[in-house]
Amino acid sequence: MSGKKVVVIGSGFASLAAATSLAANGFTVDVLEKNSTPGGRARSFTQDGFTFDMGPSWYWMPDVFEQYFKKFNKSTADYYQLVRLDPSYTIIFGPDDFMPVPAQMSQLNYLFESLEAGSSQALQKFLAEAAYKYQVGINNLVYKPSRNVSEFLNFKLLLDVFRLDVFQSIHTHLRKYFQHEKLLKLLEFPILFLGALPENTPALYSLMNYADISLGTWYPMGGMYQIVAGMVALAQEKGVTFHYNQEVKQIHVEENQVKTLETQSGIFKADVVVAGADYHHVEQNLLSPEYRTYSPEYWENRVMAPSSLIFYLGINKRLEQLTHHNLFFDEDFKPHAREIYETPKWPEKPLFYVSVPSQSDSSVAPPGCENLFILIPVAPGLEDNETIREYYYHLVMERLEKLTKQRIRDAVVVKRSYAHADFIRDYHAFKGNAYGLANTLRQTAILKPGLKSKKVKNLFYTGQLTVPGPGVPPSLISGQVVAEEIRKEFSAI
């Protein structure tokens, strides 16, 4: 391939989607990856027979993945096998108070009705509105580059503004339909775990409830890294070249255009650059000051989504009472949310999430063993050290053992932790964040950091700190959107 050269920084979902889309359109594409394997936050590691996904563990919006592969006349089934989880997940409210959330709508209606009379009918009305938001959001909003307000000034979208509940919080919106606290927690958890307070998040994001309940929770057999492996294979098929252990140290700009990128071991020429690495890092550390679009003050004033304290545990026995996905709401989430968003500090009584993929997939753990991924959402920018991590390990494990009525810590044979310092070291994550920017109204669409530099003509950005936002499907979309903008602006030849 001898087309115009694009260099992509990073190999997360957004970068892979951008690289493959550009290569398919005739560009010569090189990917520079800082780490030794692709995937960004979605990397994996193996130890003593256990295979751990290091980052994303939820597979939602299967249509987004299918549409991506369909662009290249492929299917997800060409690269990995999907299974729908049932129950989708379990919410633990306290001792002997476990609520499995069924995948089947008839059973879910029964669950809602058992908690609040009339709520099953309210659920159907709520989901019908959420389905509309999902269709408009996915088809008409998230695939827009958000470079100019005029993109949103068509008659239908203007009419839809109020129907999409852009100016109402999801906290208020949900309480028009439901009163039972357990139902509200079930419906608010995607917002909380994906990076915002329900009170500050537009009700537009009820589309996440549609994705959760109607489209379902899925799992790619072998783990989430199978998605990365499939995307890399497709990228290579289209001619993308990957360079690992190639951290970009500086971007050299002449006459407002990137000319070369410097890594620790070489110089790479580029006609166009796509920065899929941390936006803040690329802008503030790799570019000279005169070529930065945003000031340090701008970045300090962004509302970041949470970081995470994660534990990867290999257990030498089978565990009881846990399903594939488990949300521990045995403590009130409001104080925890305030500790993340309002007065950032390490939480006193944290919420946490436990994924046990070995419940669905025997390949990720040795026979008779379990694979545990434990995540605590925490504020970005906190002090992070081994003493703090160990304190929270025992705090969470104490609750986990008590609630599930079994000893676990003495069966741990593999243990690894991951938090702020690791996100910074591995990904240059701003303030050690895990998810990007919070989904607030003031950080939506054109109010996010732009996908194209305002000062460097051939520098574009993709990923969780630009449009459309945090999460795996949005990142996948982000890469496609930026590739289309480059295709329209630059000839591949």
Q: Evaluate whether the domain defined by 303-427 bears CATH number 3.40.50.
A: no
Q: Is the pLDDT of residue 152 over 90?
A: no
Shared fold status for 5-81+222-301+438-489 and 303-427: no
> What average pLDDT score do residues 334-350 get?
90
User: Cβ distance 207 to 134 under 8 Å?
Assistant: yes
Comparison of pLDDT for 147 and 295, the residue scoring more: 295
- The answer to whether the beta carbons of residues 461 and 279 sit under 8 Å apart is yes
Task: Calculate helix-pair angle for 155-163, 119-136, nearest 10 degrees.
Answer: 150
* pLDDT at 144 (0 to 100): 86
CA distance linking residue 203 with residue 176, whole number of Å: 12
**pLDDT average, residue stretch 399-406:** 98
Report the alpha-carbon distance of residue 370 to residue 315 in Å, rounded. Answer: 5
Mean pLDDT in residue range 391-417 = 98
Q: Examine the pLDDT at 372 and tell me if it is beyond 80.
A: yes
Band the pLDDT of 398: cuts 50, 70, 90. Answer: very high
Q: Kindly state the average pLDDT of the residues 205-214.
A: 95
Mean pLDDT of the region 74-99? 98
Kindly list the distances between the CA atom of residue 40 and the CA atoms of 75, 133, 320, 478, in Å, as whole numbers in the listed order: 23, 30, 32, 15
Q: pTM for this one?
A: 0.96
pLDDT band, residue 1 (cuts 50/70/90): very low
Q: Which residue has the tokens 């500050």?
A: 200
Q: How do residues 213-242 score in pLDDT, each as one tens digit?
A: 999 999 999 999 999 999 999 999 999 999
Mean pLDDT of 446-472: 95
User: If you average pLDDT over every residue of the chain, what do you get?
Assistant: 94
What does the pLDDT read at residue 253? 98
Report the pLDDT averaged over residues 87-111: 98
Per-residue confidence at 163, pLDDT binned at 50, 70, 90?
confident
Q: Check residue 155 and give its pLDDT.
A: 44
The answer, yes or no, to whether residue 131 has pLDDT greater than 80, is yes
Tens-digit pLDDT profile for residues 47-85: 999 999 999 999 999 999 999 999 999 999 999 999 999
- Does the structure show a pLDDT above 80 at 150? no
The token pair that represents 329 in the structure block = 């709401």
Where exactly are the structural domains of the chain? Answer: 5-81+222-301+438-489, 106-215, 303-427
- pLDDT tens for 266-291 read 999 999 999 999 999 999 999 999 99
* Residues in CB range of 72: below 8 A, 6 or more apart: 20, 24, 234, 238
pLDDT of residue 147: 84
d(CA 64, CA 317): 36
Q: Looking at residue 466, what is its pLDDT?
A: 96
- Buried b / exposed e over 313-326, threshold 16 CB at 10 Å, is bbbeebbeebbbbb
Say whether pLDDT at 257 is over 60: yes
Whether residue 158 is predicted with pLDDT greater than 60 in this model: the reply is: no
The pLDDT, as a whole number, for residue 342 is 84
* pLDDT number for residue 492: 87
**Fold for the domain defined by 5-81+222-301+438-489:** FAD/NAD(P)-binding domain (3.50.50)
pLDDT at 40: 98
